[in-house]
């Protein structure tokens, strides 16, 4: 059977409602668990089960026997519930809610003494649907790239021992999967012995369980077990990424740990000393075979069953039953935030109105300290975060001298519905440890990601293409402001869009040479395209009277055929044949829409073979990515997104949904007053300029 709330491909399906009696307080107090079960069709209740009721228990917890007895007495179906295989950042005892559940009406996946729904799927499901297996392969690639596992608070930068070791995986005492997997404490000693015997010349690395490392529960290995191996053995209790550990391992040994499943995904054939759910399918070397399991499966089939068909995933942004891809997106965003923020940040020269939002985005996993001057940046002893335009030589030297990381921060490319100059908070920010995307004088992290994107796998490109389609369908741009276009007839001429920019913007100061003003851009565009119908689009910050970038009416009459004032750039791009720009993000947005672009400066998207470049481009930009690959680097890999509804990190797909629905980051009351003052000042300035 297929789990509740899903169809045969693991997608959401209408749930048939059932009354479910339980005897575990956790079903009452854990809001996320209760919500997932409710969405999956279960109406939770306390009391005696009646006709047609189910009885819910949590796995094989100490309280499960109450429900088991009640179900047997009433002749009611028993349903076991557990965390799904990608739980979140931390174990449940930390209080973090799960991203999904397994709801099993036959048994439970870790109990090898009887079949479970998962074993039934693995044994009987055809597992031959091309779309299903493609999703499984794409999931494996995302799991590996983002270093995801059951508890994904791992650090991919934590260096494992030198390659060539045999990896032995410990588990916690009292783990039900050990007992119900036909193993015990002696199984761990036996595993360690055979790891040493099978690889007599290799070092041994024992990986402690995260709960053991955190001091919550002891593991199975005592110091007495480890001492005989002396210097040959290393015990790892840090947050090492399983993927990094598998890369250097010559063999993987486990009893029933889920890390054995991770090892299969990473290409290993782990040796098992119990009967975990992934054993018996010809993907493991089993020292305790399960007689009833004999089917040969591929890795993709195993993943399709374990991660798509079996679990009930939760979409925390839509508050609904979701797909595996929803869980992956949420976990990628949460894991990135934890990895980048857990050491804290000293944020330099952030304006007062930005501080609450930067604290909200960067302060969920570590301390945030705001400092005003470069010389104070290193005093908190935290990694330094600086708005890119405020970076100075003194700040760089101070960070280097204190051996502290320095990250530059800027708005992302899908920012908001509204302007930063009007104090509209961003939904996306980029952080860069190398440089910043708008400064071609030095390499940036975005440049590196674009170069890597030229070699992306098809599933990653497919995700980027879907993202582009969503952006186009919603008509989104960086600020998503303005009204519909009202353009004159082109009369058969090439319709050329020339977007104005704020002339004192950092991207102009860093990314232009000969053509560095809006007037110079108009003149260059008119020279390069003498017969075109030239449409000039003033920058929205200038139209609001908030920033520099004016072109006189005389020059506009001389050079432009039409001035598209207060017009939505996304709508404009649907009516033009070509874009000529200095460094405007509209050039990138044009590429997403298949509109050719000529650059007179050096924007981040120039020099990759996708644009007609009239300005200087760095020789280091040698890669030739597709537009989809450029979009993956720019919109998926580089920025961080923050959901204004849940106030949690989110994937880009959620940010697009929010922007399409007109939902942006909320302003505090003081910010609203300041924003109104900014806008009023802009209107007065603009009126005086026209007078």
Residue 690 has pLDDT above 70, yes or no: no
Question: What's the pLDDT at 6?
Answer: 59
Q: What is the dihedral of CA 622, 624, 630, 632, to 10 degrees?
A: -100
Residue 124 has pLDDT above 70, yes or no: yes
467: CB partners within 8 A, 6+ apart = 631, 635, 636, 652, 653, 656
**12 and 5 Cβ atoms separated by less than 8 Å:** yes
How far is residue 423 from each of residues 368, 448, 514, 539, 648, measured CA to CA in Å? 21, 31, 32, 16, 21
Question: What's the pLDDT at 415?
Answer: 74
Question: What's the pLDDT at 689?
Answer: 46
Helical (H) or strand (E) element with 253: strand 249-254
For the domain made up of 18-124, give the CATH fold.
Answer: Rossmann fold (3.40.50)
Which of 477-480's residues contact partners 24+ apart within 8 Å by CB, and which partners? 477/568, 477/569, 477/570, 477/585, 477/586, 477/589, 478/411, 478/413, 478/414, 478/415, 478/585, 478/589, 479/415, 479/416, 479/417, 479/418, 479/419, 479/540, 480/416, 480/417, 480/568, 480/570, 480/659
Paired with 597 in beta bridges are 579
Of 305-309, 386-390, 663-667, the range with the lowest mean pLDDT is 663-667
Three-state SS at 351:
coil
Place of tokens 């950042």: 89
Residue 50 has pLDDT above 80, yes or no: yes
Residue 478 has pLDDT above 80, yes or no: no
Report residue 386's pLDDT band, with 50, 70 and 90 as the boundaries: very high
Question: What's the pLDDT at 686?
Answer: 43
**37 and 20 Cβ atoms separated by less than 8 Å:** yes
Of 98, 83, 88, nearest in space to 31 by CA: 98
DSSP letter (8 states) at residue 567: B
Q: Quickly list DSSP for 488-538.
A: PP-TTS-EEEEE---TTSHHHHHH-SS--SHHHHHHHHHHHSTTSEEEEE-
Share of the chain above pLDDT 90, in %: 78
Can you tell me the distance from the alpha carbon of 416 to that of 397, in angstroms, rounded to the nearest whole number? 34
For the domain made up of 453-660, give the CATH fold.
Answer: Rossmann fold (3.40.50)
**549 and 582 Cβ atoms separated by less than 8 Å:** no
Three-state SS at 642:
strand
Backbone angles phi, psi at 231, to 5 degrees: -70, -10
Of 3, 27, 37, nearest in space to 105 by CA: 3
Q: Around Cβ 16, how many Cβ atoms within 10 Å?
A: 8
**Span 486-492, mean pLDDT?**
92
Instruction: Label each residue of 434-500 as H, E or C.
Output: CCCCCCCCCCCHHHHHHHHHCCCCHHHHHHHHHHHHHHHHHCCCCCCCCECCCCCCCCCCCEEEEEC
Of 54, 57, 56, nearest in space to 74 by CA: 54
Can you tell me the distance from the alpha carbon of 596 to that of 245, in angstroms, rounded to the nearest whole number? 45
Residue 682 has pLDDT above 50, yes or no: no
**Span 6-22, mean pLDDT?**
73
Question: What's the pLDDT at 351?
Answer: 78
Each residue's pLDDT tens digit, 315-358: 999 999 999 999 999 999 999 999 999 999 999 988 777 888 89
Of 430, 466, 447, nearest in space to 138 by CA: 466
Backbone angles phi, psi at 593, to 5 degrees: -100, 5
More confident residue, 5 or 84: 84
Instruction: Sheet with 100-104: list strands edge to edge.
Output: 42-45, 18-22, 54-58, 78-83, 100-104, 311-315, 320-322
Question: What's the pLDDT at 476?
Answer: 85
Share of the chain above pLDDT 70, in %: 91
Report residue 95's pLDDT band, with 50, 70 and 90 as the boundaries: confident
Residue 10 has pLDDT above 90, yes or no: no
Q: Which two tokens stand for residue 690?
A: 């026209």
Question: What's the pLDDT at 666?
Answer: 59
**382 and 343 Cβ atoms separated by less than 8 Å:** yes
Q: How big is the CA angle at 288 (ends 286 and 289), to the nearest 5 degrees? A: 70
Helical (H) or strand (E) element with 286: strand 285-286
Each residue's pLDDT tens digit, 23-42: 888 898 899 999 999 999 99
Residue 282 has pLDDT above 60, yes or no: yes
Of 249, 255, 250, nearest in space to 287 by CA: 255
**Span 623-636, mean pLDDT?**
98
**453 and 637 Cβ atoms separated by less than 8 Å:** yes
Of 124-128, 461-465, 590-594, 683-687, the range with the lowest mean pLDDT is 683-687
Residue 547 has pLDDT above 60, yes or no: no
Question: What's the pLDDT at 22?
Answer: 94
Report residue 638's pLDDT band, with 50, 70 and 90 as the boundaries: very high
Of 598, 589, 609, nearest in space to 534 by CA: 598
Each residue's pLDDT tens digit, 188-228: 999 999 999 999 999 999 999 988 888 888 999 988 999 99
Q: Around Cβ 527, how many Cβ atoms within 10 Å?
A: 9
Question: What's the pLDDT at 4?
Answer: 52
Backbone angles phi, psi at 507, to 5 degrees: -70, -30
Q: Which two tokens stand for residue 601?
A: 């400066």
Can you tell me the distance from the alpha carbon of 92 to that of 217, in angstroms, rounded to the nearest whole number? 13
Report residue 575's pLDDT band, with 50, 70 and 90 as the boundaries: very high
Residue 185 has pLDDT above 60, yes or no: yes
Q: Around Cβ 400, how many Cβ atoms within 10 Å?
A: 11
Burial of 93: CB neighbours in 10 Å, binned 0-12, 13-18, 19+: exposed
How far is residue 537 from each of residues 514, 562, 581, 652, measured CA to CA in Å? 21, 9, 11, 27
**Span 619-626, mean pLDDT?**
97
Q: What predicted TM-score, i.e. pTM, was given to this entire model?
A: 0.90
Question: What's the pLDDT at 14?
Answer: 52
Of 231-240, 297-306, 344-353, the range with the lowest mean pLDDT is 344-353
**Span 287-308, mean pLDDT?**
96
Report residue 12's pLDDT band, with 50, 70 and 90 as the boundaries: low
Of 647, 155, 94, nearest in space to 359 by CA: 647
Q: Where are the alpha helices (DSSP H) in 227-276?
A: 242-248, 259-265
Report residue 11's pLDDT band, with 50, 70 and 90 as the boundaries: low
Where in the chain are the domains?
18-124, 453-660
Each residue's pLDDT tens digit, 607-619: 999 999 999 999 9
Question: What's the pLDDT at 678?
Answer: 45
Same fold, 18-124 and 453-660: yes
How confident is the prediction for the chain on average, in pLDDT?
91
| 412 alpha-carbon distance from chain centroid | 14
288: CB partners within 8 A, 6+ apart = 181, 182, 183, 272, 273, 274, 275, 279
Q: How big is the CA angle at 679 (ends 676 and 684), to the nearest 5 degrees? A: 125
**Span 487-503, mean pLDDT?**
94
**548 and 517 Cβ atoms separated by less than 8 Å:** no
């Amino acid at each position: 059977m297929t789990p509740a709330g899903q169809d045969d491909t693991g997608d959401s399906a209408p749930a048939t409602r059932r009354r479910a009696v339980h005897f575990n307080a956790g079903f009452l107090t854990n809001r996320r668990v209760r919500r997932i079960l409710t969405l999956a069709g279960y109406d939770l209740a306390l009391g005696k089960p009646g006709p047609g009721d189910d009885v819910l228990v949590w796995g094989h917890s100490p309280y499960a026997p109450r429900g088991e007895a009640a179900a047997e007495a009433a002749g009611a179906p028993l349903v076991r519930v557990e965390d799904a295989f990608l739980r979140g950042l931390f174990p449940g005892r930390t209080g973090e809610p799960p991203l999904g559940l397994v709801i099993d009406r036959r048994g439970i996946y870790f109990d090898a003494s009887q079949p479970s729904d998962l074993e039934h799927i693995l044994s009987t499901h055809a597992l031959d649907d091309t779309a299903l297996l493609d999703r499984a392969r794409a999931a494996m690639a995302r799991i590996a790239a983002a270093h995801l596992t059951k508890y994904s608070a791992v650090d991919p930068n934590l260096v494992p021992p030198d390659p060539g070791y045999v990896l032995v995986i410990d588990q916690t005492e009292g783990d039900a999967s050990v007992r119900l997997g036909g193993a015990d404490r002696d199984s761990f000693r036996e595993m360690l012995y055979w790891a040493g015997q099978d690889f007599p010349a290799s070092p041994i690395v024992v990986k402690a369980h995260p709960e053991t490392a955190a001091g919550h529960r002891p593991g199975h290995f005592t110091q007495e077990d480890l001492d005989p191996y002396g210097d040959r053995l290393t015990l790892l209790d840090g947050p090492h990424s399983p993927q990094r550990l598998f890369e250097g391992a010559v063999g993987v040994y486990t009893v029933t740990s889920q890390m054995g499943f991770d090892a299969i995904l990473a290409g290993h054939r782990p040796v098992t000393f119990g009967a975990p759910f992934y054993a018996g399918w010809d993907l493991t070397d089993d020292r305790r075979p399960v007689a009833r399991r004999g089917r040969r499966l591929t890795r993709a089939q195993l993943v399709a069953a374990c991660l798509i068909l079996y679990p009930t995933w939760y979409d925390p942004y839509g508050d609904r039953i979701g797909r595996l891809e929803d869980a992956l997106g949420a976990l990628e965003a949460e894991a990135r935030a934890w990895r980048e923020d857990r050491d804290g940040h000293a944020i330099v020269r952030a304006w007062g109105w930005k501080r609450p939002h930067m604290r909200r985005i960067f302060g969920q996993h570590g301390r945030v300290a705001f400092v005003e001057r470069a010389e104070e940046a290193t005093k908190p002893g935290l990694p330094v975060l600086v708005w890119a335009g405020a970076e100075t030589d003194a700040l760089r030297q101070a960070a280097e001298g204190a051996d502290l990381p320095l990250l530059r921060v800027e708005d992302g490319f899908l920012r908001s519905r509204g302007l930063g100059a009007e104090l509209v908070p961003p939904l996306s920010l980029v952080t860069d440890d190398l440089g910043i995307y708008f400064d071609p004088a030095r390499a940036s992290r975005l440049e590196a990601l674009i170069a890597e994107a030229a070699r992306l796998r098809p599933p990653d490109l497919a995700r980027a293409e879907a993202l582009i389609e969503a952006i186009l369908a919603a008509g989104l741009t960086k600020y998503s402001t303005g009204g519909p276009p009202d353009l004159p007839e082109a009369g058969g001429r090439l319709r050329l869009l020339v977007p104005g920019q704020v002339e004192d913007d950092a991207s102009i100061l860093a990314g232009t040479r000969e053509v560095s003003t809006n007037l110079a851009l108009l003149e260059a565009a008119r020279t390069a395209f003498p017969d075109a119908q030239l449409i000039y689009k003033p920058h929205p910050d200038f139209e609001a009277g908030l920033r520099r970038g004016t072109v006189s009416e005389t020059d506009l009459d001389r050079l432009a055929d039409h001035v598209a004032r207060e017009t939505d750039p996304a709508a404009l791009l649907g009516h033009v044949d070509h874009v000529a720009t200095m460094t405007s993000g509209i050039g990138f947005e044009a590429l997403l829409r298949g509109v050719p672009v000529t650059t007179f400066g050096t924007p981040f998207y120039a020099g990759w073979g996708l644009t007609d470049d009239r300005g200087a481009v760095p020789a280091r930009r040698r890669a030739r990515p597709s537009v989809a690959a450029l979009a993956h680097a720019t919109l998926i890999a580089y920025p961080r997104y923050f959901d204004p509804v849940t106030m949690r990190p989110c994937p880009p797909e959620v940010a697009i949904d929010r922007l399409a629905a007109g939902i942006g980051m909320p302003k505090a009351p003081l910010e609203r007053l300041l924003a109104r003052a900014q806008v009023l000042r802009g209107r007065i300035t603009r009126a005086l300029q026209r007078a």
